[in-house]
Amino acid sequence: MPRRFPSASLWRIMWDCFDNQMPLPFIALAFTVVGEFGMAGASDFAAQLAKQIGFLERSAKDFDAGHTDEAFRIATALRVIFHQTPKSTSLLTHLNATKVLIRSAVPDMSAMRAKIAPRKVVAQYFVSLATITVGNHGCVLLPKTEPASHHRMIPADEWWDEVFATINNTDYTRKALVLWACNKDGGAHVDDVLPPEYEAIKASGALGTFNHNGQDVPVEQAHLVFLRSMAFEVTASPDLRVIAGL
């Protein structure tokens, strides 16, 4: 693969040539450099996508081995793949693949939302992307990682903005949780103050408590379990893997 300069530097060279009214030979040289080194192509972005999927798979494996803080690495990889801003381009945008189908374990809530829309809603509680199982120490919250479990395939941009939980009347989307974990709570940056909605979902007992041997045991690390489930959804999306060459 040919060596590349950063694209911003290349365009700066060309701009300086025109702005300073440099002789034509210098301008021709600038275009020659751009033509030789070029911009990153689709194959490069596909390779980057494959790398991020690899990060997700390895972090998921470590999470399942007990290193639950790998969820923050999961958040970082998801941000690289899906998050689009005016200043930062997602991998899927680079690949013109924002409509690629992604696995979603969230049930289609549109019919139910339409049914309750005319009514006054006093409280809402809805959670997906996790299952509850009974273990030696009571009930445990686990990520949804069963290949045969019920799921839908939806466009990536819809997946990113989809509500996967409603807790205390607050809607939580994948995008919001990923960016909080990544940008605020150590995935790629640490803030001294966390958003209250994020504090609420990561708090001990955010999803309630379970009685075990006469004692109330709070559900722990729900936010990390949700992120682990998202990693499975992405790595188990066949069309995305095809784009990545996997």
Task: Write down the pLDDT at residue 180.
Answer: 95
Q: Pairing mode, if any, of strands 170-173 and 163-167? A: antiparallel
When the pLDDT of each residue in the chain is averaged and rounded to a whole number, the result is 79
pTM for the model stands at 0.77
User: Distance of alpha carbon 135 from its chain centroid, rounded?
Assistant: 29
**111 — pLDDT class (breaks 50, 70, 90):** low
Higher pLDDT, 16 or 151: 151
Task: Write down the pLDDT at residue 4.
Answer: 42
pLDDT digits (tens, 9 = 90+) for 16-45: 444 555 444 444 444 443 343 345 566 799
Task: Write down the pLDDT at residue 185.
Answer: 83
Cα–Cα distances (Å) from 58 to 50, 51, 65, 70, 73, in that order, read 12, 11, 11, 9, 10
In three-state form (DSSP H/G/I as H, E/B as E, the rest C), the secondary structure along the chain is CCCCCCHHHHHHHHHHHHHCCCCHHHHHHHHHHHHHHCCCCHHHHHHHHHHHHHHHHHHHHHHHCCCHHHHHHHHHHHHHHHCCCCCCCCHHHHCCCCCCEEEECCCCCHHHHHHHCCCCCCCCCEECCCEEEEECCEEEEECCCCCCCCCEEEEHHHHHHCEEEEECCEEEEHHHHHHHHHHCECCCCECCCCCHHHHHHHCCCCCCEEEECCEEEECCCHHHHHHHHHHHHHHCCHHHHHHCCC
Alpha-carbon radius of gyration of the chain:
22
**123 — pLDDT class (breaks 50, 70, 90):** very low
Compute the distance between CA of residue 229 and CA of residue 220 in angstroms, rounded to an integer. 15
Compute the distance between CA of residue 244 and CA of residue 5 in angstroms, rounded to an integer. 24
Compute the distance between CA of residue 162 and CA of residue 165 in angstroms, rounded to an integer. 9
